[in-house]
Amino acid sequence: MMWHGTCMGKNENSPVSPYRWVVLLLFMLPAIATQIQWITFAPIAKDTATLFTGGDTAAIDLLAIVFMLVYIPVSFPASWCIDRFGLKWGTGIGVIILGLSGFLRIFAPDYTWLLVFQIGCAIGQPFVLNSFTKLAANWFPENEEALASGLATMSLFVGLAAAMFAGDFIIEHFKVIGDTKGGISFLLYLYGIFSLAGMILYLLFVKDKPKTPPNPIAAEKKVSMVIGIRSLSKNKDFLYLTGAFFIGLGAFNAISSKIDTLFNRRLDINPSLAPGIVGGLIIVGGIFGAVILSALSDKFRKRRLFLMITMMVAVPLTLLLQYLPSIVPLGFAGFSFGFFLVSALPIGLTYAVEKTHPVPEATSNGILMLSGQVSGILMALFFNMTVIAVLFCVGLILTLLMKEITARKAPG
């Protein structure tokens, strides 16, 4: 028996738990916290450096860089914990580390302790990010899986936007009254209490899975992580997808982190304003894209098609971001770049789960996210937009080689 389009067999008439939306919301809170803790000091680096490092902004930049560095060694252990201990407690390990470390940043007496607690937050991040597809598979029906992953992805950008805008706004307010130190302390309290509250709500109300499996993948028994990795290494579609993630997610991370360097050219506005405007529109575009295109992917039961479109439009958008001289088309290009690139993340993660089951969801999720972290570091170190555009062409070829999802096997 095969699974075509919608769930059949014993799942056909099974009610889908409305509590899935509560679980998703409670997962989104730690996801938002990961981004807030990551980017806290980026918009206020000079002010933070004055307080903690005697003006050394490179040391403040390290507080953000450690998130990418820590992800590399922690990703596989995090995926193992999620697969071994289940959704709630496997992910919960990271949620607890994140919540406590984020809260303890409030009390950091100096830079060294601030860095220690920041590393704690970074350790918690992979447990949260690697669980998105596990959450979708455990709680959501087949026709909502990409949407669930898309909403979880959207929460990352909500956190990113909140930290970027709140940091500047709050510090500027405190500067007016001559208390920059108080402004930074206020931010640490605000973000720390948010992280701790998200942890408490998660521990109290998140459940591992509903009584009735909402989709055929949730009903299947998963293989071990080691067997899963061996299986993934032989799955051509997954290998093509990993290559596409290496390019797409890495390019997005690199461009986002190096956006200040993109506009050192003649523009029709002050070049110093362009990174904030275009960067903000990339974030806004990402929030919309993560929801809209994920929902369309579920509606039409197409994954590969949307991944192909992403790679196709990324080539001209990358070049437009590099060469356009006017802020209006630059803003449009930035919004479109975020809209398509961010939506590819949940769609690609869902494709991986559908193509590789019964491999544990956190295993495939973790490998894909890890590939984007590694390539993001490399692309940022050797940043070149023309090379990135060429890489997107390679990514398009990889998506063309992939096969579309057509059917699922029945459990049991």
Residues ≥6 apart with Cβ < 8 Å to 349: 132, 133, 149, 364, 365, 368
> What is the distance between the alpha carbons of residues 337 and 335, in angstroms, rounded to a whole number?
5
> What is the distance between the alpha carbons of residues 410 and 11, in angstroms, rounded to a whole number?
10
Q: Which CATH class is domain 2-409?
A: mainly alpha
Q: In tens digits, what is the pLDDT along the chain, a chain of 412 residues?
A: 233 333 333 444 557 899 999 999 999 999 999 999 998 888 888 888 888 998 888 898 889 889 988 999 999 999 999 989 999 999 999 999 999 999 999 999 999 999 999 999 999 999 999 999 889 889 999 888 889 999 998 999 899 888 878 887 888 888 888 888 899 999 999 999 999 999 999 999 999 999 888 877 666 666 677 888 888 999 999 999 999 999 999 998 888 777 777 877 778 777 767 777 888 889 899 999 999 999 999 998 899 999 999 999 999 999 999 999 888 999 999 999 999 998 899 999 999 988 887 888 888 889 999 999 899 889 988 889 999 999 999 999 999 999 997 755 444 4
Peptide linkage before 358 cis (omega within 30 of 0): yes
Greatest CA span in the chain, whole angstroms?
71
> Helix 20-39 to helix 111-129 angle, to the nearest 10 degrees?
150
Give me the pLDDT at residue 223, please: 67
For the chain, the domains span: 2-409
- Written in H, E and C, the secondary structure of the chain is CEECCCCCHHHCCCCCCCCHHHHHHHHHHHHHHHHHHHHCCHHHHHHHHHHHCCCCHHHHHHHHHHHHHHHHHHHHHHHHHHHHHHHHHHHHHHHHHHHHHHHHHHHCCCHHHHHHHHHHHHHHHHHHHCCHHHHHHHHCCHHHHHHHHHHHHHHHHHHHHHHHHHHHHHHHHHHHCCCHHHHHHHHHHHHHHHHHHHHHHHHHHCCCCCCCCCCHHHHCCCCCHHHHHHHHHCCHHHHHHHHHHHHHHHHHHHHHHCHHHCCCCCCCCCCCCHHHHHHHHHHHHHHHHHHHHHHHHHHHCCCHHHHHHHHHHHHHHHHHHHHCCCHHHHHHHHHHHHHHHHHHHHHHHHHHHHHHCCCCHHHHHHHHHHHHHHHHHHHHHCCCHHHHHHHHHHHHHHHHHCCCCCCEECCC
Check the CA dihedral 26-28-30-32 and report its sign: negative
> What is the distance between the alpha carbons of residues 307 and 188, in angstroms, rounded to a whole number?
38
Residue 55, burial from CB neighbour count under 10 angstroms (0-12, 13-18, 19+): exposed
> What is the distance between the alpha carbons of residues 282 and 261, in angstroms, rounded to a whole number?
16
- 86 Rama class: left (phi>0) / alpha (psi -120 to 50) / beta: left
Give me the pLDDT at residue 4, please: 33
Count other C-beta atoms under 10 Å from residue 173's C-beta: 12
> Helix 111-129 to helix 57-104 angle, to the nearest 10 degrees?
70
Give me the pLDDT at residue 73, please: 94
Give me the pLDDT at residue 161, please: 85
Q: How many CA atoms lie within 13 A of 13 on its CB side?
A: 0
* Residue 193 Cα distances to 37, 98, 196, 384, angstroms: 12, 12, 5, 39
Give me the pLDDT at residue 359, please: 84
> What is the distance between the alpha carbons of residues 96 and 199, in angstroms, rounded to a whole number?
6
Residue 195, burial from CB neighbour count under 10 angstroms (0-12, 13-18, 19+): buried
Contact (Cβ atoms closer than 8 angstroms) between residue 207 and residue 93: no
